[in-house]
Structure 1
Amino acid sequence: MTVTQDTNLLDTVPDGLFIGGTWRASSSGATLAVTNPATGEVIAEIADATPEDGMAALDAADAAAAAWAATPARERADILRRAFDLVQQRKEDFALVMTLEMGKPLAEARGEVTYGGEFLRWFSEEATRIQGRYGPNPEGTGRMIVSQHPVGPCFLITPWNFPLAMATRKIAPALAAGCTVVVKPAALTPLTTLLLTQVLEEAGLPAGVVNVVTTSKSSALSAPIIADPRLRKLSFTGSTPVGQRLLEQAASGVLRTSMELGGNAPFVVFDDADLDKAVDGAIAAKFRNIGQACTAANRFIVHRSVADEFAHRVTERVNGFTVGRGTDPDVTIGPLIDENAVAKTEELVADAVSRGARVTTGGERLAGPGTFYAPTVLTGIASGSDILREEIFGPVLAIATFDTEEEAVRLANDTEYGLVSYVYTEDLARGQRMIERLGTGMMGLNVGVVSNAAAPFGGWKMSGLGREGGAEGIGEYLQTKYTLTPNPFG
């Protein structure tokens, strides 16, 4: 992909705020720069919203709420389905925009278009399946009607690492349920959401149903929106500390909340595992999205009898990676999102090495331009290492060992997080025991990637609240009403 082609595409992406069906500049006239992490170059200047812009977006969402809630489910479904078709038609455009603003290789970006688009299709189908129930009360004195209703205007805060999928995973169920939304994409990767908004507009979405505000001042913009009594739902994907602060703010208005927060995923390899499958799964679970995923395997807990062979095989695979700009066709590992990400990865690796870990490959930042860190394998991770407690969010595969099943369970559960776990074993009974014993909201049993639009995504403990995707996902945007009527037979 040439520089000229990159520029021509980015010229077609909106650079304003989308409020009440209109693209507009920030009320202050300010802009924020979007940078390509592979080159350090500014690739776009977009509107930098003020708190006043945020409130204007909530005004628009509130004004459109009643009409959108009353829109027949089939019409809402048809709009989402048209949006799905349009995203697929523009697959290459979406993939390139994601690669330019986030850094992931084009092949992975294309995969995200497929995955992210599925939320539009899935929830277009779920929109017509919202159900209630009717029946007599136990006493026989009346009839109970249980119905589902849109929760109301929603504030959706999306992260930078999956710019399309995280937007569609929140927007699609909200629209399917009959809710209007204000979306605040991450300042590091806002262009994909702006392109998606353009597609939703083309699909026939009425004015005010989706409003998008891009800003470099997230806290200042978010606080008054969350405090406004018209807002009824807050959905956030990001770090646990930020999620905790948002939950505190949401408490005053008793808002419905969905929180998809941090992870510290264990990847457990038992002595009876098929190592070929385990290595394939490890590469997918660790290095997908350059390791910058909340579902990325963070702690590789490998039986001592197979640890050396496992480390040898994954090191060979990692040595075959090509690092570089994601638009280059042969690249398998792109840059980290920014300098802070590189610095954190350096610190975690240095701490592990200082405690006795051995680097079998990588272990260093790479020369710029861009924010690159070499894909890395560490063995002999000691208890107490920071890398076992903190989410790496980088291309570092860290291996610790265990001897017994009990020890594996203890090590896997030794974290305040509980998003996802991965287990490799050929013993069916052991696999069933791991389903019961590992404290995570999702699990991959002999599988290295679990995300699917038809499945409920979410965690336990400090990894969050609520579920996105699956039949459960639309329920996060609905509220239940119970009505009692007299017995119609007297």
Structure 2
Amino acid sequence: MPLAPTAAFINGCWTDLGIHFVVRSPVNQQMLAEVSDCGTREAEAAVQAAVVSFTIWRQTAVYQRAAILSRWADLIQIHAEDLAHLITWEMGKPIRQSRAEIKTAVTLARWYAEECKRITGESIPSQFPDKRLQIWKVPVGPVFAITPWNSPVSMVVRKIAPALAAGCTVILKPDEQTPLSALKLAELWAEAEGPAGTLQVLPSSAPAPLAERLMADPRIAKLSFTGSTAVGQKLYAQGSPTIKRLSLELGGHAPVLIFADADIAAAVAMTIHAKFRYAGQSCVAANRLYVDDAILPEFTARYLDAVSHLKIGDPFAEDTDIGPLVSAAAVQKFKAQLQDALDRGARLLCGGDAQGLWCSPTLLADLDPQSRIFHEESFSPLLPIQGFRSEAEAIARANDTPYGLAAYLWTRDLGRAYRVAEALQCGIVGVNDGSPATPQAPFGGNKLSGLGVEGGKWGLEEYLQLRYVSFQLPPAPATGDMESALSDL
């Protein structure tokens, strides 16, 4: 395994606390490292450092911040293979997909290095001749960021690159299953000459007390969280006493709509990608597949054939498509949702096997609408397929969820594409596109999928606040005084 720091990174220093927790790999269940286990004392130290550093970092010339971010992006690129292997060791993602994640992270860091140069305010007209009115954009302050395990490099960069670009300082709590990737990114930030206290990383095996301490601190201006809806709701409540700004990217339950006029071959290929990358462990993964009755038999046959060619196995093998799930708890959820559907009369079309942490791609048909899989995010390679008879029925089924992150649809009818995309209640829609996310576009949802966005200029603005400044000008010189002054020239 590539070398990575194991100590906490606080105020520019690697701090070994003497208290550690074990990080194990889902690939072989072996110990990867013993990592510093941070608590409330380390949280307090990090806040103090973040506040002091913020007073300097916010005043650092934006072109200097951009240069540091650019160096950081270059270093991530230089260490791309090591970071990709860290991802695969920590969460089991197939190595090809881990490399793709690093490319995304590099693109994000470079994009924000450039975008921060375009933080501009406005001048607005005044009704008074002796006033000048301006709108400034200023950094919100120190940020607390919490990242998940399923994209432990790109998700970190997607949060902290815009925050740092905006002039904020960041305290990062990476997921306890994948802290090494985040610590490696902190090491590269220091190598890029990122000032002490601008980025701090606090690994923790018991994140709740640490998070409570930071959420209660009025000096922390903003929370950026990606994770489950249940945890997001708790953090939402914890942020209310200090009125923190929040960005919450929570659970998803993405529907896929395949209309009769779709390019079936393309729809099959892209839906395979949308569902089975990361073994289904993505917040925008396809969770429910709805197919027009007119093409349901043909689509299902082609889909089963495509699934049969997916390779399950060693995530370090170049031809592996599906690696292990991240934990035994994830496998148990897969089994429970599958058994619930079967108990309610579902028909198993393929898969259903689980060996260790490896679960086979599983397709179900003829499901009871009350099945858990229709109401819970799967985060596994389990997918229900159902038919529909009309556009209205497809839209109604797609929207029949409290979540609203992503949705996908396939059609060759431009009018239908617009009608359905406008009707879907979510933040991201892929039209004939199974991977719509890109660094320059907003990424976020609504309903129980969260609030705020990441990505694009909108992701940068999440870390900026408006300041209105009204300048009252002194009286202009009297006319006589002006003529006298001119005569002296």
Which interval holds the TM-score relative to the shorter structure?
Answer: over 0.9
Give the match for residue 446 of structure 1.
432
Distance 2:136 2:64 in 1: 20
Give the match for residue 403 of structure 1.
389
Q: Give the TM-score, by structure 2 length.
A: 0.96
Is the 2:249–2:444 contact (alpha carbons within 8 Å) kept by the matching residues of 1?
yes
Letter in 2 for 1:335: P
Among candidates 178, 181, 185, match of residue 167 of structure 2: 178
**What are the residue-to-residue correspondences of 1:34-113 with 2, within 5 Å?**
34-113=23-102
Give the superposition deviation at 1:316: 1.1
Is the 2:116–2:165 contact (alpha carbons within 8 Å) kept by the matching residues of 1?
yes
Distance 1:483 1:424 in 2: 49
Among candidates 479, 484, 489, match of residue 465 of structure 2: 479
Distance 2:175 2:209 in 1: 14
CA deviation profile, 1:45-95 (whole Å, cap 9, x unmatched): 111112111111111111101100000000000111111111111111011
Confirm or deny that 1:15 pairs with 2:6.
yes
Letter in 1 for 2:395: V
Confirm or deny that 1:435 pairs with 2:421.
yes
Confirm or deny that 1:465 pairs with 2:451.
yes
Give the match for residue 347 of structure 1.
336
Letter in 1 for 2:15: R
The secondary structure found in structure 1 opposite 2:359 is coil
Confirm or deny that 1:392 pairs with 2:343.
no
> Which runs of 5 or more residues in structure 1 are unaligned?
1-5
Give the superposition deviation at 1:323: 1.3
Letter in 1 for 2:239: A
Confirm or deny that 1:191 pairs with 2:180.
yes
* More displaced 10-residue stretch of structure 1: 472-481 or 311-320: 311-320
Confirm or deny that 1:242 pairs with 2:228.
no
Distance 1:150 1:240 in 2: 27
The secondary structure found in structure 1 opposite 2:290 is strand
Confirm or deny that 1:301 pairs with 2:287.
no
**What are the residue-to-residue correspondences of 1:302-317 with 2, within 5 Å?**
302-317=291-306
Is the 2:312–2:360 contact (alpha carbons within 8 Å) kept by the matching residues of 1?
yes
Is the 2:277–2:321 contact (alpha carbons within 8 Å) kept by the matching residues of 1?
no
Letter in 1 for 2:93: K
Give the superposition deviation at 1:182: 0.3
Structure 1 residue ranges (4+ consecutive) displaced by more than 3 angstroms after TM superposition: 138-141, 487-490
Letter in 2 for 1:182: I
Distance 1:113 1:234 in 2: 24
Distance 2:417 2:123 in 1: 40
Distance 2:329 2:199 in 1: 32
Distance 2:342 2:189 in 1: 49
Letter in 1 for 2:203: T
Letter in 2 for 1:13: A
Give the match for residue 361 of structure 1.
350
Q: How many residues align?
A: 476
Distance 1:343 1:285 in 2: 22
CA deviation profile, 1:269-326 (whole Å, cap 9, x unmatched): 0111110111011111101111000000111011111112212112111111221221
Give the superposition deviation at 1:139: 5.2
Q: Give the TM-score, by structure 1 length.
A: 0.95
Is the 1:99–1:109 contact (alpha carbons within 8 Å) kept by the matching residues of 2?
yes
Give the match for residue 156 of structure 2.
167
Is the 1:157–1:236 contact (alpha carbons within 8 Å) kept by the matching residues of 2?
yes
Is the 1:38–1:372 contact (alpha carbons within 8 Å) kept by the matching residues of 2?
no
CA deviation profile, 1:224-274 (whole Å, cap 9, x unmatched): 111111110111000001000000000000001000000010100011111
Among candidates 397, 406, 412, match of residue 426 of structure 1: 412
> Which runs of 5 or more residues in structure 2 are unaligned?
477-489
Give the superposition deviation at 1:424: 0.3
Give the superposition deviation at 1:138: 3.9
The secondary structure found in structure 2 opposite 1:259 is strand
Larger gyration radius, structure 1 or structure 2: 2
Percent identity, aligned pairs only? 43
Give the match for residue 382 of structure 1.
368
Give the superposition deviation at 1:143: 1.8
Give the match for residue 3 of structure 1.
none
